[in-house]
Amino acid sequence: MAASAAAVLVRYCLLLLCAAAAAVAQEVVAPPHDEDNDTVLQSSSSSNYCLSWRLGAETNNVRGWWTVPAQCCGYIQAYMAGSGQYQRDVDLIVDQIMGHASNVAASITTGAAGDEGGGDDGLDAWVLDVDDTCLSNMLYYKTRRSYGCLPYEPLSFRAWASKARSPAIPAVLGLFNYLRDAGFKVFLVTGRDAEALGDATRLNLLRQGFVGYHRLILRTASYRGQSGEVYKSEMRRQVMEEGYRIWGNVGDQWSDLLGHSLGNRTFKLPNPMYFVP
């Protein structure tokens, strides 16, 4: 009897333990109360929305935006600075650019570039943009524009650019060095104003190791007020008129890569912080 009572007690205790364990398990897997569920859903649907927005902006389907949508401020900050994803995206695209550049270099050497020409006439060229292509303005966008959530401020940007302290984007500096050493003429084409920012831009490029470019093209007075697309197309047209073959054209804005005289291939680097028409 005593043994059987003990067995019942043990069984009862096991049941209690199981019930307690089940309760704990349920607590772990139980759905959160309404409020928590809402928060989780909102944050996941807004980060899904922001991923869609960023993709739309990068593919030039979302155009003409002045600031990052308010609900995406945290997402874009995390994308640019927190998660390392921006860096990885840049690195992947630069790998693709290097692939094209080395194919072109090889086809020029072997004469396989055919009708496109290419060779030892010193006219094989690449075009790179400057802001957020060669040089990063992320520090400025972090401190003054909350990663694109606050609107454009021409004066504070000019003050930042005048300091000539924009760091190089490391992968693009590597690309630049490769292109120069492979014998390409590198043209840096920027919408920065020649008078106001010419010296600071040259100094900044030098400080960051962009040495040996063929030409830095800044916006002179006669092109003031033109859209990036019109101005940059015209600059490339002039370069091509001099006989240069543009094998690659790299920028963070679609206005770097649309229009005419585009070159053999264009490459879009990520930039979800601002849009230049």
Binding region for ligand NAG (CB under 6 A): 31, 34, 37, 113-114, 116, 264
Of 158 and 268, nearer to ligand NAG (C-beta) is: 268
Minimal distance, residue 245 CB to ligand NAG, in Å: 9
- Helix boundaries (H) for the chain: 2-29, 34-58, 73-77, 85-110, 138-145, 154-162, 170-181, 194-207, 228-241
What amino acid occupies position 68? Answer: V
C-alpha span between 151 and 69 (Å, rounded): 11
Minimal distance, residue 7 CB to ligand NAG, in Å: 41
Minimal distance, residue 46 CB to ligand NAG, in Å: 15
Q: Mind giving me the DSSP string for 185-233?
A: EEEEEEEEEHHHHHHHHHHHHHHTT----SEEEEE-GGGTT--HHHHHH
Of 90 and 240, nearer to ligand NAG (C-beta) is: 240
Minimal distance, residue 114 CB to ligand NAG, in Å: 6
Of 114 and 225, nearer to ligand NAG (C-beta) is: 114
Minimal distance, residue 117 CB to ligand NAG, in Å: 8
Q: Are strands 266-268 and 245-251 parallel, antiparallel or unpaired?
A: parallel
What amino acid occupies position 94? Answer: V
Residue number, nearest CB to ligand NAG: 116
What amino acid occupies position 236? Answer: R
Cβ–Cβ under 8 Å, residues 74 and 83: no
Of 162 and 264, nearer to ligand NAG (C-beta) is: 264
Of 87 and 107, nearer to ligand NAG (C-beta) is: 107
Name the helix (H) or strand (E) containing 84.
none
